Structure 1
Amino acid sequence: MRLRAPATLRWRLLAGIVLPITAFVAFDAWSTYRRVLESINTAYDRSLLASARSIGELLQPVGQELRVEVPYAALEIFEAGNEGRMVYRVSGVRGEFLSGYADLPPYNRQPPQRPAYAALVDFYDADYGGERVRMAALYQPVAGPELRGVALVQVAETLEIRERHARALLVETLLRHALMVAVVGAVAAVVVARALRPVNQLRDAVSERDERDLSALVTPGLPTELRPVTTAMNDLMARLAGLIAHQRQFVRDASHQLRTPLAVLKTQVQNGLSGHVGERETLQAMHGTIDRAIRLANQMLALAKVEQVHQQDAPQTLDLCEPVREVALDLAPLIADKELDFELEADQPVWIEGHAWMLRELTRNLLHNAIRATPAGAPLVVSVDSVASSSAAPLARLRVRDSGPGLDAARRAHLYEPFHTGTTSGTTSGSGLGLAICRQICERLGGEIQLVNRGSDTAPGGLDAIVTLPAATPATASTTAPPHATQSTP
């Protein structure tokens, strides 16, 4: 099981500041160590070359032979100040051993073509006596009356002093850089803590609030970066406050509306028990009251379900004609009872993004209202088509044209309010929730609904209920929608 660092903003900010600096410091320490080690090697290589030259200058040709005598004083000079061990070997012009340490491995490498120094010298690492040594091999020209050639002087030094100096430098560098990282981390921690103080203040302001307090947050002195957060939170709380107020109003209205049919039903039962009304008349009245109560309860559930469907179900690409045909077929018995001249114009597919249940509920409420308002034998037309809009995107339109008395301006302004009916006959057949459900569905689908009198408000010739919804693109519809099927109108 791996341990994970806490995913807090403080740790993320500190990690975002300290980790890159630490990585850069580590790289800088490594590169500094490499450069200094190279400088140390160069300095000690110069010392090796000076030692080899000092020995080479002691070579003397004697007849056909080459002789060298390295006095003890000379050895003290080029070993002075060195803490490591140094050995040497001198080979003659024919490769014979002349002086020094005979067990020092002879030079068998290819001399460099372009040496870095003004001498034919080669520096390399080798093993001697079980230790790693740094070797300098210098070709020393010699010339005498009878002998001319090139001798080889090898000087080797153990790497103890170089490694000790490099380690000391590395430790010093790491300590200095570690101190710098610690200072940066401490400063970053203080700066991050001060920068997050407004976030903590905002958290405290929210957590200390009463659960019923949905007023706007007032936190003066917030940084510019946090102001959009408070604005979004205030917008959210404003929407929640509106939603809660709407729900409270709905509960109050619903409780009142549900008490009404129950009170009427109780009165009807009492009348039946008292014998003032006949048994059949009492049962018929109770049947009508129960029907109205069931219709009211169903529409209340439908109004609550709109928000639930919108929140839980993803919209799909649908042909608006399909739910309209289904609802028209379901309500065909009501249309037939009034012998309406019904016409359904839904021949071409009209694609929208929505929920099938919402579209069926929208059509059912509009068509049910139109059937109730249309006189017996009068025309009733339902059409589905596409229309152009002021913007580039087309719109899908559902229009229900009844032949009823229409609506005056005063009643039409209140029809979208829950439990407000537009009937003038004094009947209680409507619950006043149908158009409220229609408007909420249109808002959730990004559309709008209009009630337009044909003729004028004083002399209407029927009512048009017009719903416009954003149309889906044909490319999306062709890949997600079922094939279109024609259906005859009832």
Structure 2
Amino acid sequence: MNSIAGRLLRGLLISSLVGGAVLTIMVIYEYGLLSANPPPLWKTVREITEHVLVPFGVFLLLFGTGALLVVRRVEGQLKGIAGDVRQAAQELRSYQTPPDALPRELTPFTEAVNELTSRLAAHARRQEAFAADAAHELRTPLSILALSLDKLPAEDAAPLRAQIRALSDMVDQLLLLARSNAPDTAQRRSLIEPDALARRIVAELAPAAIQAGRELSVESDNPAPFRGLEEAVAASLRTLIVNALRAAPEGSEVIVRAGPGANLAVIDGGQGLTPDELDKLKARGIRADRAPGGEAGLGLAIADRIADSHGGELVTCQPAYSGLALRFPAARPA
């Protein structure tokens, strides 16, 4: 019995046994039930019933009922606060328990939890600020490097320019990831339509697909809207499409599927990734998309973390298809 009500019931049971035994001894001593001339048996039973069982039973019934009502009331308050905490967790915002929301005996616990959430929120704000500052600081030397490449022969500058472009994209993704994890993310989120987002990103990457000798198309399968930072989700989807264009055989088709539900899948004709392989690529410290062309980055790892900050996940489409999918929780009806 780990519940408060169970412990209360066990305590009342022990108290009733001990109290009943004490009262029985007192009645036996008071009325000389064990003396040389004890009263008749029927009188003994009546005395114990009237002076022990009935009063003690009424007391236990009233006390137990009152205690159970108090426990149920506190349990209801805890469930209400738990619901508020879950809602705050879904919206990625900190939560402070009101000081008068729970009994005074729980104040040390609520104060400790409030202090913890305050420190976590402050840490998240510092992380976002650091990522933003780092991104801005990195953009300047990358721009200077890109300009310096103009002095090199075109054939030498091309691969270096591609690496700088990949680094710039990674910096942008890190900044979007930091914004996705910020405490005030809920206020900045909007309703995202998977079909519209997929068509926009495919239109952006269509020239690159043609240049790479691949076909890029969009399919809609009863998509459902979800809430999030659209540019962060767009960056994750863009990473999946770019990886698919590199992995797909030349002349094959890469399909971006919106739906079913709040899902965005990128299906290619490559070998695909098993769940174990995808987990390894998503692990911290693993380069997620070292491609044949030499580009390197943290693409899949960042895409997975952006999805996670939206309550979603990056999963493999196997065994049904070869590809990856971003799954998000559908938006609640207004």
Provide TM-score, normalisation by structure 2: 0.53
Question: Secondary structure at 1:360's aligned position in 2?
Answer: helix
Does the Cα contact within 8 Å between 2:288 and 2:301 map onto a contact in 1?
no
Compute the displacement of 1:317 (Å).
3.2
How far, CA to CA, are the matches of 2:129 and 2:196 in structure 1? 36
Q: Structure 1 residue 447 and structure 2 residue 312: aligned?
A: yes
Structure ID, larger Rg: 1
Does the Cα contact within 8 Å between 1:403 and 1:463 map onto a contact in 2?
yes
More helix by share: 2
Compute the displacement of 1:452 (Å).
4.6
User: What amino acid is aligned across from residue 272 of structure 2 in structure 1?
Assistant: G
How far, CA to CA, are the matches of 2:182 and 2:130 in structure 1? 19
Does the Cα contact within 8 Å between 2:125 and 2:182 map onto a contact in 1?
no
How far, CA to CA, are the matches of 2:154 and 2:215 in structure 1? 34
The match for 2:269 is 403
Does the Cα contact within 8 Å between 1:345 and 1:384 map onto a contact in 2?
yes
User: What amino acid is aligned across from residue 344 of structure 1 in structure 2?
Assistant: V
Does the Cα contact within 8 Å between 2:131 and 2:174 map onto a contact in 1?
no
Q: Structure 1 residue 435 and structure 2 residue 316: aligned?
A: no
Find the partner of 2:231 among 354, 357, 372.
357
Query: Using a 3 Å threshold, how does the CA distance of structure 1 residues 287 and 438 change in structure 2: closer, same or farther?
Result: closer
How far, CA to CA, are the matches of 1:406 and 1:359 in structure 2? 22
How far, CA to CA, are the matches of 1:254 and 1:314 in structure 2? 20
The match for 1:464 is 323
The match for 1:307 is 181
Query: Using a 3 Å threshold, how does the CA distance of structure 1 residues 280 and 383 change in structure 2: closer, same or farther?
Result: closer
How far, CA to CA, are the matches of 1:428 and 1:242 in structure 2? 35
Find the partner of 2:288 among 415, 421, 427.
421
The match for 2:244 is 370
Find the partner of 2:113 among 232, 244, 247.
232
Does the Cα contact within 8 Å between 1:449 and 1:465 map onto a contact in 2?
yes
How far, CA to CA, are the matches of 1:410 and 1:249 in structure 2? 31
User: What amino acid is aligned across from residue 404 of structure 1 in structure 2?
Assistant: G
Compute the displacement of 1:348 (Å).
4.0
How far, CA to CA, are the matches of 1:309 and 1:237 in structure 2? 10
Compute the displacement of 1:417 (Å).
3.1
Cα RMSD for the two superposed structures:
4.4
The match for 2:164 is 290
How far, CA to CA, are the matches of 1:419 and 1:261 in structure 2? 23
1:160-239 alignment runs, 5 A limit: 224-236=105-117, 239=120
The match for 1:179 is none
Query: Using a 3 Å threshold, how does the CA distance of structure 1 residues 305 and 246 change in structure 2: closer, same or farther?
Result: closer
The percentage of counterpart residues that share the same residue type is: 19
Query: Using a 3 Å threshold, how does the CA distance of structure 1 residues 246 and 405 change in structure 2: closer, same or farther?
Result: farther
How many residue pairs are counted as aligned between the two chains? 231
Does the Cα contact within 8 Å between 1:373 and 1:404 map onto a contact in 2?
yes
Compute the displacement of 1:415 (Å).
2.6
Does the Cα contact within 8 Å between 2:244 and 2:323 map onto a contact in 1?
no
Question: Secondary structure at 2:181's aligned position in 1?
Answer: helix
Query: Using a 3 Å threshold, how does the CA distance of structure 1 residues 412 and 378 change in structure 2: closer, same or farther?
Result: farther
How far, CA to CA, are the matches of 2:126 and 2:277 in structure 1? 25
How far, CA to CA, are the matches of 1:333 and 1:451 in structure 2? 26
TM-superposition CA deviations, 1:329-384 (whole Å, max 9, x none): 11111121223243321164522233332332232222222222222112322212
Provide TM-score, normalisation by structure 1: 0.38
Does the Cα contact within 8 Å between 1:451 and 1:466 map onto a contact in 2?
yes
How far, CA to CA, are the matches of 1:452 and 1:242 in structure 2? 35
